[in-house]
Amino acid sequence: MNAKHQLGQADVATNIAVGDIARARSFYGDVLGLEEIGGDGEHLLTYRSGSSLLFVYQSEFAGSNRATAASWLVGERVDEIAKALKAEGVVFEHYDMPDLRVEGDVHVGHGMRVAWFKDPDGNILSLVSG
């Protein structure tokens, strides 16, 4: 089996750079409600989200990605989860994008619903109905 076929059978994890591990722990654990399952607690936190892993690590390059870093596939619960996160103080991003309209904090179009928000370091995250 060649490498591309091997990768197609493997799980993939998301890596997110942050500037402050304690602040990230509060956001990803307390606000988003992810289960912390490992890491050293000083430079790396590991979270479980469904059957996926999210590695949150300290880096001087935190928040420098200007594109979506991670998306949660939440099906028809986009609006419900966005509302709950907003109640926790999460601020949602509103983008002017072709063929998408904004309903509250959710962008609708192309057969999907998506809500974008940022973590405390400016990393772009999203909830997607897909």
- pLDDT interval class at 1 (50, 70, 90): low
CA distances (Å), origin 117, targets 22, 33, 39, 90, 122: 19, 15, 25, 7, 9
Q: Which domains does the chain have, with CATH numbers?
A: 3-128 (3.10.180.10)
pTM flag (> 0.75): yes
C-beta of residue 56 within 8 angstroms of C-beta of residue 18: yes
Residue 55 and residue 47: Cα distance in Å, rounded?
Answer: 6
C-beta of residue 113 within 8 angstroms of C-beta of residue 121: no
pLDDT digits 0-9 by tens, 86-115 = 999 999 999 999 999 999 999 999 999 999
Greatest Cα pair distance in the chain: 49
What per-residue confidence (pLDDT) applies to 3?
62
Average pLDDT in the 24-35 region?
97
C-beta of residue 43 within 8 angstroms of C-beta of residue 15: no
